[in-house]
A and B are shown apart, each in its own frame.
Chain A
């Protein structure tokens, strides 16, 4: 075990200990959340930002399966793996965050109780279904490790045949989910600042998550260098220009809603708006890895702002994450990274063949 891997395991273990404390003691002592800010970083970061960072699988699936770009094919397994881990961690965060977690099984099961008006229900069902889909998409990679086993010989052809319909689900579900993440905050109505509160939120969340998906693939591929530079450059261009269109659309939307003058007020909201805009536009000028990182930061900040900064429950409330909240999030990320390293070393994920590091 390398030293950094041990560090990841230590952070993950600390996270597990804090999680047990949270389950035992409740959310009041362990987190900084309150009735004013009922959602903290576990939702705004782990779930909303985390699953957008985990959109690589979604973004590459569109390229490979729909646009039929075979040269992107080596990207699909690492992207799907990152997505599967990202969505699983997001799901775990939700379970930690909800107060009555032992009731969570009722969400997919109690169909008669489904409130079809609830965007959160849709988000929850999509997150569950998509996580399952992602792991199914990953199963061939795991089974290929033992190509001659009985299970593999039976399951692989079936999986290969059903891939079409699973892959299609792997595009429909995140489309629904990521757009609905935007709709989620529409229900906070007047508590959401007008710079962010637009009926276009679902569309904006979808556009930025796709861009973030391509950026994360660029980011990952640069680190293991399996895919040619021209492919990555094209991906980056797609991401950069799609957020450029998003930024323009955002200004037009502000104009149409008559809220455009608010960007001139340099209060917290105005500053955050311009910080987002600068980060979204910077990749036009900064290429390669730096551009991809800025794009990821831009999308992350946009989500963070929409869920926390732009949300104003009124005077007297404030929120800054508690130490346990932060270390549980760090622990989950550490676990995710450790699992990624372990899976990539064990199974044929990178470039379709078993990949040896070191």
Chain B
């Protein structure tokens, strides 16, 4: 009897290992690439004059109120927040400064979309990361997951939603450009297909190598983003903390897919456990 139980235990151990330790052997998840229809924006910090026209245009288009919390007078958001999907910030160093525009990066492999339980956040037409409040339960896992801290939550409301740039998806559907790129007087933010914007960005660096920091941020960072950045200062000074090439959902989804492939491991574990308990109940429990 003792040996019997031992062999059963081994079976359970194997099934448990399959459920919990499969990540180690799981195959790496293939890297995602931008879709053929992927559009995006290119922001050139060397051209931006910090006029915030794009911020105003974004608020008008999205119907968002002015954020007057810092001065009680006019719209002056200190960053992206529940009233602000697009913002211009200033970096000031010892002998240098730069503006930087912040909005959703529209990642090729977005962490927020991987996080979202019922697909309220989705990658839709043109690769836009869009939001649908109807299936959102307000869990804020998207905020935990986003490496750029983009999704914002309406903390001031008792019926809150998530607020984030959706690349003016209604305008795109009508064949128009996003509001911010339309109004920019300095052409610091331009709209286009992602591959063309990427080429344009590299051309600018090639034409003016002394001006630019030699990298297009978003080309590969965190799996690649559909909004791309050029700058004369290193990107971490503009608040881009991470330059890891790996998409955020990579590790976690590799594990998850390894463990739950076809839900086989949990079902196997369930069957084995059921069989063991069934057997055990037929025998009288041993007493010590």
- Whole-angstrom distance between the Cβ of B19 and the nearest chain A Cβ: 6
A120 and B139: CB pair below 8 A? yes
Q: What are the residues of chain B within 8 A of A114 when measuring CB–CB?
A: 117-119
Tell me the nearest residue of chain A to B81, going by C-beta.
A35
Given A120-B141, A172-B270, A110 contacting B135 (CB threshold 8 A): yes
- In Å, the complex CA distance between A106 and B138 comes to 12
Q: What are the residues of chain A within 8 A of B113 when measuring CB–CB?
A: 115
Q: Of B79, B115, B143, B154, which one neighbours A118 at CB under 8 angstroms?
A: B115
- Whole-angstrom distance between the Cβ of A88 and the nearest chain B Cβ: 19
A191 and B270: CB pair below 8 A? no
- Whole-angstrom distance between the Cβ of B246 and the nearest chain A Cβ: 8
B278 and A107: CB pair below 8 A? no
Q: What are the residues of chain B within 8 A of A103 when measuring CB–CB?
A: 135-138
Of B170-178, B206-214, B249-257, the stretch lying at the interface with chain A is B249-257
B286 and A70: CB pair below 8 A? yes
Q: What are the residues of chain A within 8 A of B288 when measuring CB–CB?
A: 69, 71, 230-231
Tell me the nearest residue of chain B to A35, going by C-beta.
B152
Most chain A CB inside 10 Å of its own CB: which residue of B111, B269, B273: B273
| A164 in the interface (beta carbon within 8 A) | yes
Which residues of B1-31 have CB atoms within 8 Å of chain A's CB atoms?
5, 9, 12, 16, 19-21, 23-24
Q: Of B5, B154, B269, which one neighbours A175 at CB under 8 angstroms?
A: B269
| B283 in the interface (beta carbon within 8 A) | yes
| B157 in the interface (beta carbon within 8 A) | yes
Q: Of B161, B222, B256, which one neighbours A119 at CB under 8 angstroms?
A: B256
B side interface size, CB within 8 A: 76
- In Å, the complex CA distance between A68 and B145 comes to 42
| B159 in the interface (beta carbon within 8 A) | yes
Given A66-B277, A189-B147, A118 contacting B140 (CB threshold 8 A): no
| A169 in the interface (beta carbon within 8 A) | yes
- In Å, the complex CA distance between A199 and B154 comes to 32
Given A38-B140, A199-B255, A26 contacting B156 (CB threshold 8 A): yes
- In Å, the complex CA distance between A332 and B76 comes to 40
| A83 in the interface (beta carbon within 8 A) | no
A313 and B149: CB pair below 8 A? yes
Of A93-101, A217-225, A239-247, the stretch lying at the interface with chain B is A93-101
- Whole-angstrom distance between the Cβ of A299 and the nearest chain B Cβ: 17
Given A183-B252, A187-B252, A70 contacting B287 (CB threshold 8 A): yes
- In Å, the complex CA distance between A24 and B159 comes to 9
A175 and B285: CB pair below 8 A? no
A65 and B158: CB pair below 8 A? no
Tell me the nearest residue of chain A to B250, going by C-beta.
A189
Most chain B CB inside 10 Å of its own CB: which residue of A34, A122, A163, A191: A191
| B244 in the interface (beta carbon within 8 A) | yes
| B281 in the interface (beta carbon within 8 A) | yes
Q: What are the residues of chain B within 8 A of A104 when measuring CB–CB?
A: 137
- In Å, the complex CA distance between A118 and B111 comes to 10
Q: What are the residues of chain B within 8 A of A64 when measuring CB–CB?
A: 285
- In Å, the complex CA distance between A69 and B117 comes to 39
Q: What are the residues of chain A within 8 A of B252 when measuring CB–CB?
A: 119, 183, 186-187
B277 and A39: CB pair below 8 A? no
Which residues of A63-103 have CB atoms within 8 Å of chain B's CB atoms?
64-71, 73, 97-101, 103
B111 and A189: CB pair below 8 A? yes
Q: What are the residues of chain B within 8 A of A69 when measuring CB–CB?
A: 285-286, 288
- In Å, the complex CA distance between A171 and B273 comes to 8
Tell me the nearest residue of chain A to B122, going by C-beta.
A115
| A285 in the interface (beta carbon within 8 A) | no
Q: What are the residues of chain A within 8 A of B277 when measuring CB–CB?
A: 65-66, 163-164, 167-168
| A117 in the interface (beta carbon within 8 A) | yes
Tell me the nearest residue of chain B to A228, going by C-beta.
B288
| A188 in the interface (beta carbon within 8 A) | yes
As a 0/1 sequence over residues 82 to 113 of chain B, the CB contacts with chain A under 8 angstroms (1 = contact) are 10000000000000000000000000000101
- In Å, the complex CA distance between A35 and B149 comes to 8
Tell me the nearest residue of chain A to B162, going by C-beta.
A99
Q: Report which B residues bind A (CB closer than 8 A).
A: 5, 9, 12, 16, 19-21, 23-24, 79-82, 111, 113-119, 133, 135-141, 143-145, 147, 149, 151-161, 222, 239, 241-242, 244, 248-249, 251-256, 259-260, 266, 269-270, 273-274, 276-278, 280-281, 283-288
6 A-B pairs with C-beta separation under 8 A: A35-B152, A99-B139, A99-B160, A103-B138, A113-B135, A190-B147
